Amino acid sequence: MADAVRRWSEQLAGWAIPAHILVAAPESPWFVPRRAFARRADRLIAEPATPTHDAVLAGLPGSVLDVGAGAGAASLPCARAITRVTAVDTNAGLLAEFTARAEALSVPCTTIEGRWPDVEAAPADVVVCAHVLYNAPDLAPFTEALTAHARRRVVVELAAVHPMTSLNALWRRFHGIDRPDGPTADDAVAALRELGVEPEIVRWHQPAKREYQRFDELVDVTRRRLCLPPDRADEVAEALRGAPDFGSAGRDVVTLSWRVSRSV
């Protein structure tokens, strides 16, 4: 395995939750806050295009394959130029949210429940994948499948640093452990180059917008992520009151894109 690709995999492995903490967790820390995903999609559909949407639009009009689609934040803001969209996600509830928004925008839609790259999906003019790469330790087959399914362009969006680093101080406070600080988007670029991909890179800042409508919703999500029981919610709330705004989406973001020229 090439050095940068191996480092990417090794750094992501470092995010594994220690077994003694995970086994004691009353609920899965990997749950999906569906309402937050839905609100984010609605906000981005209503607002001007981000650099990621600009990159998607550069490969349209045509079809789109949205990998790790969530409720549609990466693809559906480009609805005016999409002739058909296919959404891939492991969460059936989020695929239902995606379908509802695609129908409201009059975009023909197909959904596939499953994990990329294990699913079978038809090629599309543009393949977009937003905020999934940090969940892809085996980067080579993941990226190769993105490229293989695109006729014109692949667009990948990810946070400049691993999004869970924002909770590192809380892991130290509640569990006394230090969490990793990598990999980063720069590590992703280095790994992609080793895989023969030379992406266009756009670095931008996503203005802070509240992801959770109520403070108790933020507390509940954070508590679960930290593998803590419900009876420690007050402690988590106290920690969040004196901490940075974990409930906002403001962060530095990187959009990577590369052109594909083939008939598939």
Highest mean pLDDT among 89-93, 240-244, 245-249: 89-93
Q: What is the pLDDT of residues 13-22, one digit of tens each?
A: 999 999 999 9
CA distances from 127 to 55, 75, 85, 140, 214 (A): 11, 9, 10, 16, 34
Listed in sequence order, the DSSP H helices in the chain are 3-13, 19-24, 34-46, 51-57, 92-104, 139-148, 168-175, 185-194, 215-225, 233-241
CA distances from 59 to 43, 152, 257 (A): 23, 6, 10
When pLDDT is cut at 50, 70 and 90, the band that residue 245 belongs to is low
Per-residue pLDDT at 199: 98
- Give me 63's structure tokens: 């079809």
Question: Residue 158: which CATH number?
Answer: 3.40.50.150
Q: What spatial distance separates the first Cα and last Cα of the chain, rounded to whole Å?
A: 28
Q: Which of 28-32, 91-95, 243-247 has the lowest mean pLDDT?
A: 243-247
Tally of domains within the chain: 1
> Which domain covers residue 21, as residue numbers?
3-258
Answer whether residue 264 is part of any domain.
Answer: no
Answer whether residue 185 is part of any domain.
Answer: yes
**Rounded-to-integer distance, Cα 108 and Cα 25, Å:** 41
Listed in sequence order, the DSSP H helices in 25-87 are 34-46, 51-57
Answer whether residue 71 is part of any domain.
Answer: yes
Per-residue pLDDT at 251: 86
Answer whether residue 53 is part of any domain.
Answer: yes
Answer whether residue 263 is part of any domain.
Answer: no
Dump the DSSP string for 140-193: HHHHHHHHHTEEEEEEEEEESB-GGGGGHHHHHHHH--PPP---BHHHHHHHHH
Q: What is the pLDDT of residues 177-196, one digit of tens each?
A: 999 999 999 999 999 999 99
Type of residue numbered 89: D
Type of residue numbered 87: A
Instruction: Decide: 81 and 61 in contact? Cβ < 8 Å.
Output: yes
Per-residue pLDDT at 91: 96
Answer whether residue 60 is part of any domain.
Answer: yes
Question: Considering the chain, what percentage of its residues have pLDDT values greater than 90?
Answer: 85
Section 126-143 average pLDDT: 97
Answer whether residue 229 is part of any domain.
Answer: yes
Helix (H, G, I), strand (E, B) or coil at 107: coil
